[in-house]
Amino acid sequence: MSATRRQILTGTGAVASVAFAGALGELFTGAASAAVPGRAPAVAGYGPLLPDPAGLLDLPAGFRYRVLSRSGDPMRSGEGRVPQNCDGMAAFAGGRGRVRLVRNHENRATAALRVPPVPGLTYDPGARGGCTVLELDADGAVTGERVGVAGTAVNCAGGPTPWRTWLTCEETEDLAGTGDYVRDHGFVFEVDPADPRRSGAVPLTALGRFAHEAVAVDPHSGIVYETEDAFVKPFGLFYRFLPDRPCGGLGSLRAGGALEALRVRDVPDLSAVREPGAQFRVEWVPVPDPMAVGTPIRFQDFGRGGITHAQKLEGCYWSGGAVYFVSSFARSREGAAADHSGQVWRYEPKRGRLTLAVVFGPASDVQLPGESPDNICLAPGGGLMVCEDGSGLQHVYGVSPRGEVYAVARNAHNIGTPAEPDYGEFAGVTFSPDGSTMYVNCYAPGTTFAVTGPWR
């Protein structure tokens, strides 16, 4: 979809419907999803986006933002400057109305603003990625900012655990000896937002070594679901990790477990599925070599029946009794079975059932706004919040329980030129524990926003 089309839709406050599966009761929870007898359904969205005089973030009327942190500014801890490339994020209650934000930095070897190496929190001194932790008081003001983990690489997304820690994911498979790296990469690391020194910088090797994107933890079984972001064939896989110590608290995932990959019989590529509501029985196949000592996992031999791949597997989260995961896009010219501009899949463990829940963008209907969904979360009042990572203007979109797409925020910071504008993607959308504030990152220039207003 062209930037012009998205500008028209978001500028007028128009909404359009995405293609949805029939019932998403587990996905859309909360007051906004409940029908009230005798009352007309609420109008989706919050109205048109208004230009920001400061040229940073366009929001609907009644909403306002606060810049919490910007790349290059000094951290309050004195450990160095705020790193660049702000990506996945989660919010944790800190007691007495306080909030702790754990924020990834997707830094590669060339990043100028690295996560400062801190003794006891650094895995590989040659790597420049990691996490930082922001502490906010009950009024939303920043009272602290420090390193959560350092010396990791390309920290893209991740996910919170039921025991209130953050799992940060390395989206790389680079080995020691690559550039300045002295240790292998491609792992998940656990970060304790309350005290990062309790978690340290220990790779959770049993969760596999691959280009991790995001994780979601089933709070009942403790199973960890993982997405692999690969846009070159063979595409990534969807995994589950069966821990030996399920839901055992901080450090329990170091105890080991079994890693398996999703197989849908006769569906080698999920992009071939086009119809929302399509359902499949699934199998889970043991990963032959989770550490990928000789061969990356997605290249490995999974035996008769093969394994199921998908291009650009991104966001992943748990809601109710299901795990949801995103395929950001698929392009047949790059080897995918079919084209789409974003899918959301739902897997129900108790039923062993996989459903195509949502299809985004012009591949399903040219009238639909939005393309390339990336990070994704549940809104407190029901529905989705989706970070867009496509071309042209970049938005945070809401998706109502009725399947209507509406713009919540638009990146107004042009990092290109007036003749050839460019806008950084949004990432890490999450809400405060009380639902009153939406936090979101702009990837470049790295900026963390807090957005308040009349959230429904």
The CATH number linked to 272 is 2.120.10.30
Residue 44 resides in a domain: no
By percentage, how much of the chain surpasses pLDDT 70?
Answer: 87
- Looking at the DSSP bridge assignments, the partners of residue 49 are 60
Residue 42 confidence (pLDDT): 54
**Residues near 258 by Cβ (< 8 Å), separated by ≥ 6?**
241, 242, 286
Amino acid at 355: T
Residue 361 confidence (pLDDT): 62
Closest by CA to 402, choosing from 48, 17, 40, is 17
Residue whose pair of structure tokens reads 């953050």 in the numeric block:
166
Residue 446 resides in a domain: yes
Residue 342 confidence (pLDDT): 87
**Residues near 186 by Cβ (< 8 Å), separated by ≥ 6?**
170, 172, 173, 174, 208, 209, 210, 211, 212, 292
Mean pLDDT of the chain: 88
SS3 labels along 6-17: HHHHHHHCCCEE
Q: How far apart are CA 27 and CA 454, in angstroms?
A: 22
pLDDT at 156 over 60: yes
Degrees, nearest 5: CA angle 69-75-77? 135
Q: Can you list the pairs that 254-260 forms with residues at least 24 positions away whose Cβ atoms lie under 8 Å? A: 254/202, 254/204, 254/206, 255/206, 256/206, 257/206, 258/286, 259/206, 259/207, 259/208, 259/286, 259/287, 259/290, 260/284, 260/285, 260/286, 260/287
Closest by CA to 150, choosing from 169, 167, 172, 125, is 125
pLDDT at 214 over 80: yes
Number of H-type helices and E-type strands within the chain: 2, 29
pLDDT at 102 over 80: yes
**Which 3 state secondary structure label does DSSP give 197?**
helix
Cβ neighbours of 385 (radius 10 Å): 22
Residue 37 confidence (pLDDT): 38
- Looking at the DSSP bridge assignments, the partners of residue 191 are 166
Amino acid at 301: D
Taking 3-state DSSP, the helix, strand and coil percentages for the chain, each rounded to the nearest 5, stand at 5, 40, 55
pLDDT at 305 over 80: yes
Closest by CA to 342, choosing from 321, 367, 317, 315, is 315
pLDDT at 367 over 90: no
- Looking at the DSSP bridge assignments, the partners of residue 411 are 57
> What confidence category does residue 362 fall into, taking pLDDT thresholds of 50, 70 and 90?
low
Residue 54 confidence (pLDDT): 97
Residue 29 resides in a domain: yes
Residue 46 resides in a domain: no
Q: What is the mean pLDDT of residues 160-185?
A: 97
Residue 12 confidence (pLDDT): 36
pLDDT at 146 over 90: yes
Residue 130 confidence (pLDDT): 98
Six token digits for residue 164: 């209130």
- How many distinct structural domains can be found in the chain? 1
Residue 60 resides in a domain: no
DSSP string, 96-164: TTEEEEEEEE---TT-SSPPPP-TTSBS-TT--EEEEEEEE-TTS-EEEEEEEEEEE--EEEEEE-TTS
Amino acid at 435: G
> What confidence category does residue 32 fall into, taking pLDDT thresholds of 50, 70 and 90?
very low
Residue 228 resides in a domain: yes
Residue 298 resides in a domain: yes
Residue 55 resides in a domain: no
User: What is the extent of the structural domain holding 413?
Assistant: 3-34+65-452
Residue 439 confidence (pLDDT): 98
Q: How far apart are CA 383 and CA 25, in angstroms?
A: 10
